Amino acid sequence: MADLLTTEPGALPGEPPATTGLTMQQAINRALAELLEEDPRTLVLGEDVGRLGGVFRVTDGLQQRFGRRRVMDTPLAESAIVGMSVGLAMAGWKPIPELQFDGFAYPAIDQIVNQLARMRYRSRGALPMPVTLRVPSYGGIQAPEHHGESLEAVFAHVPGLKVVSPSTPGEAYRLLKTAVRDPDPVVFMEPKSRYWDRGPVDSAAGAAEDGPEDEPRLRIARPGRHATLVTWGAMVRRCLQVAELAAADGVDLEVVDLRWLKPVDADGLAAAVRRTRRAVVVHEAPRTAGLGAEISALLMERCFADLRSPVRRVTGYDVPTPAGPLEEHYLPDADRILLAVQNVLEN
């Protein structure tokens, strides 16, 4: 108890103070702690999120601090996790369910599409769905099959769902708090390969009080003059590395972190691409019908007369996400991204 009293609000005993460097895993944990502390209606549930603290330890210590009625272990049943969250939201709670891995979302697709996404519409607004579905996503850790999927296009295609994906610890902290305060269901796609990245987290910055409508949706991660790399999640860091490599050859690349994949900040994106007049979209998901196609179409509709080259896409391949060491041959790497940049610059 003494340790709790001498620790700042939202931080567990022994944690670094606010504004110092945290890993993304720690930043999400801190945001969850603060959300649980702020609102007694907030609940965390999922497989192993309680006693174990989550397979990635993102919820470590929360059950000990807030009790088993607020941080609940569930059966290994994704459909039940999402279904229970829908029922809890209908009863006035604010659930934050976790699905352990992206590929495990498929067993819950009926509850996500036919219940979670539609309940507010179906009830003509009488039943808001303030559910934030946390999904550790994307590849990069050479895990087994079903542990490295990129489902953003699946989620973004469903009316009624919002989709957000952070790229840094600070973004994860702030965007999670914004998502939880939203009255609509939000799929929060956490780049699991970045859980151990460390960066500044400004607790005082908080989040937009009124949800994503007041939140600047995209972020210029790096300004540039010659071409724009449009990306999100784990690929933001890779694109920043590519920009550094290009800079050594005198090519100044801008990197746009999309952050909100739905709704997309269409005006902000168009304005960014108009500045360089060339764009390359980078994502991990397979190419066909991926979100890159939607982004490319959006840019064609809004910036066609300004573009000096067709929009290019660098993506995963149209195959199941490979497991283990084969993954590095699947994910977009620096050479593939630089080749696309060269292509848009030469056209």
Cβ atoms of 242 and 253 closer than 8 Å: yes
Helix (H) or strand (E) holding 229: strand 227-231
Catalytic entry in 147, 157, 226, 283: 147
Q: Give the angle 42-47-50 at the CA atoms, nearest 5°.
A: 55
Q: How confident is the model at residue 208 (pLDDT cuts 50, 70, 90)?
A: low
Q: Name residues whose C-beta falls within 8 Å of residue 311's C-beta, 6 or more positions apart in sequence.
A: 279, 280, 281, 295, 296, 299, 300, 344
Could you tell me which of 302, 311, 304, 300 has the C-alpha nearest to residue 340?
311
What is the reported pLDDT for 215?
Answer: 61
Q: How confident is the model at residue 18 (pLDDT cuts 50, 70, 90)?
A: very low
Helix (H) or strand (E) holding 189: strand 186-191
The residue assigned the tokens 């908080």 is 206
Is 146 among the residues known to form the active site?
no
Question: Which tokens in the block code for residue 303?
Answer: 């910036």
Q: How does pLDDT run across 222-270, given as a tens digit for each residue? A: 999 999 999 999 999 999 999 999 999 999 999 999 999 999 999 999 9
Cβ atoms of 265 and 217 closer than 8 Å: yes
CA of residue 28 relative to chain centroid, distance: 11
Could you tell me which of 223, 173, 190 has the C-alpha nearest to residue 27?
173
Whole-angstrom Cα distance, residue 35 to residue 216?
Answer: 21
Q: List, in sequence order, the alpha helices (H) in 76-136.
A: 78-90, 109-110, 119-122
Q: How does pLDDT run across 89-116, given as a tens digit for each residue? A: 999 999 999 999 999 999 999 999 999 9
**What is the radius of gyration, based on Cα positions, of the chain?**
20
Written as one letter, the residue type at 308 is: R
Question: Which tokens in the block code for residue 174?
Answer: 């702030």
Question: Which tokens in the block code for residue 317?
Answer: 């391949």
E strand segments, 59-105: 71-73, 94-98
Q: How confident is the model at residue 20 (pLDDT cuts 50, 70, 90)?
A: low
In the DSSP assignment, the letter for residue 292 is H
Q: How does pLDDT run across 40-95, given as a tens digit for each residue? A: 999 999 999 999 999 999 999 999 999 999 999 999 999 999 999 999 999 999 99
